[in-house]
Amino acid sequence: MTNEKNFYITTPIYYVNDAPHIGHAYTTLACDTMARYKRLMGYDVKFATGTDEHGQKVEKAAAAAGMDPKDFVDKVSQTFRHLAVEMQITNDDFIRTTEPRHIKAAQQLWVELINRGEIYLGSYAGWYSVRDEAFYAESELIDGKAPTGAPVEWVEEPSYFFKLSAWGDKLLEFYEKHPDFIQPESRRNEVISFVKSGLRDLSISRASFKWGVPVPNDPDHVMYVWLDALTNYLTVLGYPDTNSDDFKKFWPESVHVVGKDILRFHTVYWPAFLMAAGLTPPKKIFAHGWWTNEGVKISKSLGNTIDPIELINTFGVDAVRYFLLREVSFGQDGDFSLSGLINRYNSDLANSYGNLVQRVLSFIYKQCDGKVPQPAEYTAEDKDLLIEADALPEILEQNMENFSFHKHAEHIWQVIFKANQYVDMQKPWVLKATDPKRMQTILYILAETIRKIAILTQPILPIASEKILDQLAMTKRGLDVFNQALQPGTPLPEPKGVFPRWVEKA
């Protein structure tokens, strides 16, 4: 039962080998923005994030911390949960792969695959990178390292294999039939050429350590961490119960947002596992780019990771959201810099949006008795501004459906710019004595423009938009009320600044 008004969006589940950084925050913020947008559009949304807690990488991190793996993952997982709370993320679920519901789901997927003859027992002799949790062919290595630069080690052990080699043509057919499955387009081409170059069977179990989901009926093996981890997207919907309400509602209406580094796992292995288990692959995989810090690759060893909580505590959630979503086109790489964030904040939020709202609402509060003004006849300029604002929902839809957050913001800011120009040109403050009716009309047009803008900025700037809509005494905030104009005479609360200008402390 699929319904076009159901929408399921997921972040990758984060490895708990280390504390969260800006890269993790970015994916989660983007998904949160999308989830908020879909809710605004009246969709029933399921939004999940969580932690990936098995595998050698996590096991080694626990050992390095001198902790039992379970205690270690319990502790680090909390830091990711905490980040989501601090960022005011609206996830409906937080999945951990060590939870019984997930172990059951992962084992069931295994059983399904083995029952369908998709898995065989063999032995693996080859390269493995713990950092990437990935197997590499000799031919893929560059100077004795993984193509990602990660160290590799030689692994020789009995292993179960998934018959990935048999799925190449079916995958290509699937990509062909679903041209939107892999986004952006450039990534799609990359995946297609990888699959065309021929797929090898995939090792899907490890026998040399224990920190993983036990392979059903073979206690010597644990499941390969990626097969385990990918299944989380099903666990959240109640799998193995494919008759659960959530499963019927949200699968395969699903979008997995991932970083470009984990594209292959999501666009090749995952649909192949699903098709082999008789399940439909998800609707879309969107791969975003990577952030550098002041031009330098972010890495723990360089000590230049950016703590998202520190940023939020300094600048506020909305400022961080706005910068990350506005600065680069989603899908491209971006460079993080404090000066960039401060510039964006001051120019777009404090000086443009904040200034518009503050000067209009405080003027209304003082000059219109703290009530929504009473408009009279509209001039051509009035109508022009309203027409611009009215065009935004359609543009919003076009952009957001493609994850073009930056374009969505760009269009809104064009209207904000126009509205500020309109204030300067109409000069409502000089009309108080001479033409109060006209003053009220101008202010009404502005209040309406701000209301419309604030409805549309909710996905990107949830906290500020809420404050602005509060200041307009709006209780309903969905797109369905976009055309319900403000009622003249409605009492308004005293306005407070939403984006105070950021001044560097000396």
Q: Which one of residues 6, 8, 9, 13 is an interface residue with ligand MSP (CB under 6 A)?
A: 13
Q: Which one of residues 6, 7, 8, 14 is an interface residue with ligand MSP (CB under 6 A)?
A: 14
Q: Is 306 in the site for ligand MSP (CB under 6 A)?
A: no
CB atoms within 10 A of CB 110: 28
Q: What stretches of 207-300 adopt beta strand conformation (E)?
A: 214-215, 218-223, 254-259, 284-288, 291-293, 296-297
User: What is d(CA 50, CA 24) in angstroms, rounded to the nearest whole number?
Assistant: 11
Residue 262: which of 52, 83, 113 has the closest Cα?
A: 52
In the complex, minimum distance from the CB of residue 282 to ligand MSP, in angstroms, rounded to a whole number: 12
Q: Is 23 in the site for ligand MSP (CB under 6 A)?
A: yes
Question: Residue 122 to residues 114, 158, 217: CA-CA distances in angstroms?
Answer: 14, 6, 16
CB atoms within 10 A of CB 504: 7
Residue 442 in contact with residue 382, Cβ under 8 Å? yes
Q: Is 28 in the site for ligand MSP (CB under 6 A)?
A: no
In the complex, minimum distance from the CB of residue 298 to ligand MSP, in angstroms, rounded to a whole number: 4
Q: Is 290 in the site for ligand MSP (CB under 6 A)?
A: yes
In the complex, minimum distance from the CB of residue 348 to ligand MSP, in angstroms, rounded to a whole number: 22
Q: Is 320 in the site for ligand MSP (CB under 6 A)?
A: no
Q: Which one of residues 150, 207, 298, 309 is an interface residue with ligand MSP (CB under 6 A)?
A: 298
In the complex, minimum distance from the CB of residue 231 to ligand MSP, in angstroms, rounded to a whole number: 8
Site residues for ligand MSP, 203-262, by CB under 6 A, read 229-230, 232, 258-259, 261-262
Q: Is 8 in the site for ligand MSP (CB under 6 A)?
A: no
User: What is d(CA 477, CA 160) in angstroms, rounded to the nearest whole number?
Assistant: 52
Q: Is 27 in the site for ligand MSP (CB under 6 A)?
A: yes
Q: Which residue is nearest to ligand MSP (CB)?
A: 259
Question: Residue 276 to residues 105, 114, 242, 280, 312: CA-CA distances in angstroms?
Answer: 16, 10, 16, 9, 43
Place of tokens 């993080």: 336
Q: Is 15 in the site for ligand MSP (CB under 6 A)?
A: yes
Q: Is 12 in the site for ligand MSP (CB under 6 A)?
A: yes
In the complex, minimum distance from the CB of residue 259 to ligand MSP, in angstroms, rounded to a whole number: 2
In the complex, minimum distance from the CB of residue 102 to ligand MSP, in angstroms, rounded to a whole number: 11
Q: What is the largest CA-CA distance in the chain?
A: 90
User: What is d(CA 294, CA 205) in angstroms, rounded to the nearest whole number?
Assistant: 40
Q: Is 52 in the site for ligand MSP (CB under 6 A)?
A: yes
CB atoms within 10 A of CB 186: 12
User: What is d(CA 372, CA 393) in angstroms, rounded to the nearest whole number?
Assistant: 23
Mark residue 370 as left, alpha or beta (left: phi above 0; alpha: psi -120 to 50; beta: remaining).
left
Q: Which one of residues 24, 36, 39, 102 is an interface residue with ligand MSP (CB under 6 A)?
A: 24
Q: Is 444 in the site for ligand MSP (CB under 6 A)?
A: no
User: What is d(CA 80, CA 87) in angstroms, rounded to the nearest whole number?
Assistant: 11
Q: Which is nearer to ligand MSP, 335 or 390 (CB)?
A: 335
Q: Is 150 in the site for ligand MSP (CB under 6 A)?
A: no
Q: Binding pattern to ligand MSP, positions 55-94, x when CB under 6 A?
A: ----------------------------------------
Element (H, E) at 125: strand 119-129
Q: Which is nearer to ligand MSP, 291 or 422 (CB)?
A: 291
User: Where do contacts with ligand MSP occur on this chain (CB under 6 A)?
Assistant: 12-15, 23-24, 26-27, 52, 229-230, 232, 258-259, 261-262, 290-291, 298
